Structure 1
Amino acid sequence: MSATDTFRLLHVDDDPAILDLTSAFLDRELDWEVTTLTEPKPEVALSRIVDDAEASDAGVNVDCIISDYDMPGMDGLAFFEALRDHGITTPFILYTGKGSEEIASQALNAGVTGYFQKGGPDQQRRLANRVEQVLEDRRTQAVADRYSTVLEALGYPIYVVDDDGQFEFVNEPLAELTGYDRETIIGSSPALIKDEAAVEQAESELGRILSSTGPNTTQFEVDIVPKEGEPIRCRDHMAALPYDGECFEGSVGILRDISTERQRRRELRYKTRAMDEAPTGIAMTDPSRADNPMIYVNDAFVEMTGYDREEALDRNCRFLQGPETRTEAVERLSDAIEAGESATVTLRNYRKDGDPFWNRVSVAPLHDDDGEVARWVGFQEDVTERRRYRRRLERQNERLERFAGVLSHDLRNPLTVAAGELELARCATEDGHEHLDAVADAHDRMEALIDDLLTLVRDTEGDIEWERLSLSEMVERCWADIETRSATLRVETDRTVSAESRRFRRLLTNLLGNAVEHGGDEVVVTVGETADGFYVADDGPGIPEDKRDDVFKAGYSTNADGTGFGLEIVREFADIHDWTVDVTESEAGGARFDVQGVGGS
């Protein structure tokens, strides 16, 4: 049957007059558009049908065969049986003038579609009615085949439940979904693959369909309980099977696994919520629309700009610009968008109330499957306070640099002069040197204090130039630079560390000098390694536990001649390297400083 419901009939009869009369009558009586082919010889008709079936993938190209019984060479039943021997099952109506109960019985037992005796108009109408039924069945089967092909191509699980509430049909995709074979499902109730609540929901939905005011079809979500594993969330598309009157014949449904879809929707909700609630302003624009307007802004954007969504959407974001917005930054942003590239600029923008703020804007293109820019996403961050802090920090650094200049020049010069005059005074004075010695000690302490302050002001700034350094070699070099008196050094490590050489040397010098200064003339200083760093320990008097939190504070010292900045420098240099320094008691009862986070090997 063709897709346009045009049918082809083949009438075989050795009487040309019967062929012409029957063809004309069928053309008049049938509601379908038909083409009636005629053939007086059954052998020729058989050959044509068989050849057509073998030559075409679609099979026989006629929808119904009408044949006389009594024909020379081959009668109608022999013709029918020959067709069946070739596997051709086209509907076959025996229409004969030589009828008998015996022939009728043989024909019906053989499986013909219909048996009619030739006669007047009434017999012709009976023949036409039977052909009409055949063509209706063929059309219905063709439509069903089309739908079956579509459903099979879609691969959706399909079921039919009969009027007794049992599965009458399920396809293979449904069997695969549930883990049961089709033979197990067919004949069982939906409770096999649904829990009680799901069964009740399906019955309720079917009741809506069957009600006089209900829909023809319904969709609802349901959990399918497979033979093994967790329930599978599906969407059930249900309809009642066609029926006449009040005789309900069952329902049909198509299931679609939406568990992945639900997960995607859930993830999309999370992502949307993350954008909505992000602490950074987010806007999205549509470049396919005139002037690339914003189609989305989040809560942070609204809060930062003062414009609510209705005021911001469908506008280009340039409305945030004002009289002090630098054109250079705007042009860089425009050029990047024109080129389809990401960019970051800092703009002087204005809130709805007119207050200016510094807006760090980053834009990036979002491409579609064809590689075209479908959306632009922009991130806005109010950096006004950060810029103010940076300016304050720059001014503070300038003041510190001026302070360092005063320390290194304006204070050191008078001290140099004072030291020279002090030496002249010693030469000119025979007595009272002890007073001059006190002045010299004060000068030395001021020199040490200036050195430490300059170290804190200047050497704690700047990038790290990392080097691989031998801890033992660095310790030995630092030990040689300090006044060790009768102290003893023990180095119990061969670790190498990554550090900035100049700062690391000052850190070690201050730790070793602190141990000698507070440990006594005969102190034993030990440098060893830990799992993640190293330690400097001594066997001196140690540091009281209630004082250990104070030793790193600026200006704190238990030595009257100390500056109080030595351990402050140790802590600052450790921080620069992302290390930590802790003070505890050594095994010998003295002080132990642990530097951790060093790593190395």
Structure 2
Amino acid sequence: MTESAGIDILHVDDEPEFLEVAADILEGEREEFTVETAVGVSEGLDRLAADDFDCVVSDYEMSGETGIGFLRTIRERNPDLPFILFTGKGSEEIASDAISAGATDYLQKQIGSDQYTVLANRIENAVEQYRAKQRATDLDRIRALTSEINQALMRADSRSQAETRVCEIISDSDPYLLAWIGEVDEDTQEIRPRASAGVEDGYLDDITVTADATPTGRGPGGTAIRERRVAVSQNVSEDQQFKPWQAEAVARGYQAVAAVPLDHQDRLYGELVVYANRPQAFDDREQELLADLGRDIGYAIHALALEEDLHTQQTRQRALFENAPNPVMAGEETGSAHRIVNVNDAFEETFGYTREEVIGTDVAEVLVPDDGRAAHEEFRERAMAGESITTEVERITADGPREFLLHVIPYGVTDDTIEGTYVWYMDITDRKERKREIDRQNSILRTILENLPMGVLVEDTNRDVLMANDQLCDTLICSDEYFFCERSS
């Protein structure tokens, strides 16, 4: 068989000698013609079942069978294949029957070669019209397929759902039998299926496809990944590069394969592999449309993957936010205000405000005391610049002022702005109060010691000196070799 640019003709007649002469003359008329012959209707049908042809030329009377009966059988299988009745028995009745049965053209045999020139012209015109119709049909089919896939991608809620739906839509469309989407295992370089649909029958379990340069990586699947382009095998039964998968593919009716990289912004998300039920199924136009489809799918997967990553991140942040043992507030900058957008349960318990009371309000109006406004504005400016802040502050609760250790953590930081801040509070009011009480007691103790008329030395359980008053130091000679004397002040 010739390449798709040629014209493959099946000439059927019951006279072998005539077939041989006619084939030579026709091939001499056009360089692109390749003429195969079949003696009789039965052999003609067998040849059509085994190979693809662009046109059939048939005699009328052939050993008890007619070209009209032959035509009717062909039309049951292929309504559009060009068929020219080329007969020595001519009549208006035969011509009318031929056209009624679906013949493309009718031509009567004549002595000499001139009629073969006419026949060559008729064949060429019929095949061109047939191919133009096929191209238009294929274009409409692929456009409809692309539209259906894009709608499915827009409706998909997850990457796995999108990939499965793409495979289902493609495998349901003629001439495709199977579609699968796979991605590369970086450790083994094996291309592993993520989703598939169609006539599979264990095929994906029986084969190995890799992205390297080994024999299992030289077919369309590996080539599409390595070279980031649509790669095809137009006839798997004859393609030596497809040999590792040939037997399994042919057994399932796969005759042509196309692999399409799924990428977006230099990131590869895997590939789409499509199997067709006929050779030469992927012409240049179809490959271009598949490449466009691959980019559409790559973009959709990219967007869904980002959305899934964001959802996972948000879920983790929400769990951390809601289950934090300390009060946490989320805030966003809106104009001149820093507004509260969310608080956790611990915030409600510690501050005594409900979510409904504080969400949407300005932090400064609700939580910051008047004498802390200047410091609060400074913290805002530093946070807006992307700086994390840890400091001690006083904040207003429903029960009055309390002291907190404050952690301000900006999120969504870009070059110039931030999306907002998380503010963690640790209530240190009781701890600060205890420290102040200890400092007060220590101050009283120092005052008492300094005013006693006798020398006093205070030691801990290890006999380390903690305090001594001036009277002791005035009475004794203070020396580092003897003991440490700390004067209270």
Q: TM-score, normalised by structure 1?
A: 0.35
Structure possessing the higher radius of gyration over alpha carbons? 1
TM-score w.r.t. the length of structure 2 is 0.41
